[in-house]
Copies of this chain bind each other. A is one copy, B any other.
Amino acid sequence: MTTDQGDGPADDDAPPRRDAERTRAAILDAAIEEFSERGLLGGRVDAVVERTATVKRMVYYYFGSKERLYQAALIESYRRIRQTEGALHLETLDPDQALRVLVRATLAHQENNAAFVRLVMFENTLAGGAIHLMGDDVRELNHSVVLILEDLLARGRAAGVFRDGPEAPTALDLHQVISSMAFFRVGNRATFRELFGRDMVEGPERDHVLELIETTVLRLVLVDPPA
């Protein structure tokens, strides 16, 4: 996103190349790791630096404070997600198939971005809650998911396969349900495995869990769910 690797341009002859950006990016990477593992309060600036080739002073040079570094890590995390999404081309699929694909994609995505999930969990545990999320772009980004769902629902209702009427779930409802189960799967994995012996992310029960979540969502919207 920021580093300019490889095909790089212009001033390659200046001995200290764009090390600035590289250093900044390296710190950010390390911060995402550190904070996603221990949160804002538990994460240590020293630990961030140790994951890096630079020294502590640079953190303050580039980010000013631990808190601002945390915020930068959070935003960067959201940004990376946006890149991954989008390319599902759900509009070419039947509504119910499209919904299945979306659910599976969401699950896969959070599975591959546990760091992101953890960051959001930490964010929610902070006093005021969600304080560091400022920025309309983040809000806008997340809204796009709702738009996709809205289109999906409209097509499904038009086709008569999705429920309609005042009782039927809205796009935001669907997003809430999907997010709930996707988050819980990754975020509460440890506790759930410890207490009930089920690993929702890896191992033999993984497929069953994915099926379960997909089914739950589909039965919520389908007019005529399969037995």
User: A: which residues have CB within 8 A of B?
Assistant: 37-42, 118, 120-125, 127-130, 133, 138-139, 142-143, 146, 163, 165, 167, 169, 172-173, 175-177, 179-181, 183-185, 187-196, 198, 200, 208-209, 212-213, 215-216, 219-220, 223, 225, 227
Contacts and interface: CB of A to CB of B under 8 A. Distances in A.
Nearest to A192: B176
B163 A176 contact: no
A216 B220 contact: yes
26 contacts: A41-B41, A41-B42, A42-B42, A118-B125, A121-B188, A122-B125, A123-B191, A124-B187, A125-B187, A129-B191, A130-B190, A130-B195, A133-B191, A133-B194, A163-B227, A165-B227, A167-B215, A169-B215, A172-B196, A176-B198, A177-B212, A179-B184, A183-B183, A219-B220, A219-B225, A220-B220
Taken together, the copies of this chain in the complex come to 4
A3 B34 CA distance: 37
A123 B184 CA distance: 13
A185 to B, nearest CB: 7
A216 B177 contact: yes
A47 to B, nearest CB: 12
B196 A175 contact: yes
A219 B224 CA distance: 11
Given A41-B41, A125-B39, A130-B191, A200 B176 contact: yes
